[in-house]
Structure 1
Amino acid sequence: MRIQVVTPAQYETYADLLAQMRRLRAAIFSGRLEWDVTIENGEERDQYDDLQPSYVLAVTASGRVAGCCRLLPAIGPTMLEQTFPQLLASGSLNANAAMIESSRFCVDTTLTFERAGGLLHQTTLFLFAGIIEWSMVNGYNELVTATDLRFERILKRAGWPMQRLGEPVRIGNTTAIAGSLPIDAASFRNVRPANYQSELSEEALAPLRSAA
């Protein structure tokens, strides 16, 4: 497995992977979790996909997207402030240029991979490492996200604990929570699997890997 980050300039190059990603999102968020999301031609997308996000993809050796996450600078429109402001104690992120928002994180649990320590799906750890790695290389030091209580526990077990930005709120069939996570070398070291690979340049990553 490897991590592939797809930036706006690469949408056309990796169109097939992005289509796989949207189908996976449909299967997870509409099919398994039964969220009220928009599905067209078997693919899930929303208004935040129109804002030129970067996507972190976990891709198997056979080219299948096993997991994904969407990243947007927090100084622009964000899901937390525009869709789920009730999750923020202050109603605002007080965003800065070093903050990035993660959303639409999901993993294809039908694929069989080794579970680290018997607790965490390997794809989840690859995605955590990819998010931290790419964010550090691009100058971010804090990640914010809306998630649920189950995923909050997964983050803690992975060694990347979340600081809550408000109290849990029942939204649909989910108890949601907003949180902040550090983007730093220590967090990357905690979550990175031994066989981790990404498509980022070795030159850009040399300082990070030496620190980790």
Structure 2
Amino acid sequence: MYILVQANQYRKYEDLLDQSFRLRKRVFADQLGWEVATCGPYERDIYDDLKPAYLIWCDTHQTQLYGSVRLMPTTGPTLLYDVFRDTFPGSCDLVAPSIWEGTRMCIDVEAIARDMAGLSPDRAFCLLLLALCEIALDNGIETLISNYEPHMSRIYERAGAELDELGRAVGYGRFPVCCGAFEVSQRVLTNMRNKLNVVDELYKRPSYSRSNERAPATPSVRV
């Protein structure tokens, strides 16, 4: 299942968030060799103190994490501008209420292999991307900005995501880091579902949401 965890829900989902920070350390610090802030088994930075929203992929009992993404509006502090500014041209203005940053996107390959035999890491990542598109569209987000390594482009293409690479730079890790703008629209979502052969929605809205309404992005997701 896929959950959107907001600041007022951190305590409720503290175990899943704990697993997320541990996973981020294993992926970004240990595996990719990025220069990220670590403390013991965790990877956390100052942006995690700014009450971001987190997309969490977990089991139905909400005890095992499979993947996560951090979401922040570009109208506030972002890694995009503070750390990865060299990855996109100076002429690009990526600050707007409808443009959000998605960072620290990762999956737990071992947990997925153990609990979902037959689900490849590439497809698992594609499903997380699909859930991210659903949540973004549901919350009025029109563009998602993300930094990623070049080899990820093939996975984005496999997922049916529509990506415009704005630029790239070196000096952040073992490989260049790209900056990409992902379109969020019903058309893209439909294309992704067709490409991945997924019929049903992955993200289920909270019970308090009406089926014909979507939560407003900034107050709902950002607090």
**TM-superposed deviation, 1:204:** 4.4
Q: Which residue matches 2:154? A: 153
Matches within 5 A, 1:57-206: 57-61=56-60, 63-90=63-90, 92-110=92-110, 111-112=112-113, 113=116, 114-115=118-119, 120-122=122-124, 124-192=125-193, 193-194=198-199, 196-201=201-206, 204=210, 206=212
Structure 1 residues 41 and 68: alpha-carbon distance in aligned structure 2, compared to 1, 3 A threshold: same
Q: CA 1:69–1:178 in 2, change beyond 3 Å: closer, same or farther?
A: same
Could you tell me whether the CA contact under 8 Å between 2:37 and 2:45 is conserved in 1?
Answer: yes
CA contact 2:33–2:173 (8 Å) conserved in 1: no
Aligned counterparts of 1:119 and 1:24: Cα–Cα separation in 2? 15
Judging changes above 3 Å, is the alpha-carbon distance between structure 1 residues 86 and 188 closer, same or farther for their aligned structure 2 residues?
same
Note the residue ranges of structure 2 that are not aligned, 5 or more in a row: 215-223
The alpha carbon displacement at 1:61 in A equals 3.7
- SS of the counterpart of 1:132? helix
**Inter-partner Cα distance in structure 2 for 1:138 and 1:144:** 15
Deviation of 1:162 (Å): 1.2
Cα deviation, 1:99-148, whole Å, max 9, x if unaligned, reads 11000001111121444xx78322x1332122112212221111111111
What fraction of aligned residue pairs are identical, expressed as a percent?
A: 26
* Preserved CA contact (<8 Å) 2:22 2:43: yes
- Relative to structure 1, is the Cα distance of residues 171 and 9 closer, same or farther in structure 2, using a 3 angstrom cutoff? same
Deviations 1:74-118 (A, max 9, x none): 111111111011001126533111111000001111121444xx7
SS in 1 for 2:3: strand
- Give the CA deviation at 1:201: 3.4
Q: Distance in 2 between matches of 1:82 and 1:91?
A: 16
Query: Which has the larger strand fraction?
Result: 1
Q: Which amino acid aligns with 1:186?
A: R
Residue 174 of structure 1, CA deviation:
1.7
TM-score by length of 1: 0.86
**In the TM superposition, what is the alpha-carbon distance from 1:54 to its structure 2 partner?**
0.3
The alignment covers a number of residue pairs equal to: 204
Over 3 Å counting, the alpha-carbon distance change for 1:7 and 1:178 in structure 2 is: same
1:68 and 1:104 in contact (8 A); partners too: yes
Counterpart-to-counterpart distance in 2, 1:125 and 1:196? 14
Unaligned runs of 5+ in 1: none
Deviations 1:170-195 (A, max 9, x none): 53212110010111112223334346
The question of whether the paired residues in 1 share the 8 Å contact of 2:35 and 2:172 is answered with no
Question: Does structure 2 conserve the Cα–Cα contact (< 8 Å) formed by 1:81 and 1:93?
Answer: no
User: For residue 35 of structure 2, what is the aligned residue in structure 1?
Assistant: 36
Distance (Å, rounded) in 2 between the aligned partners of 1:92 and 1:185: 25
Residues 129 and 87 of structure 1, relative CA distance in 2, 3 Å threshold:
same
Amino acid paired to 1:126 = L
* 2:47 match: 48
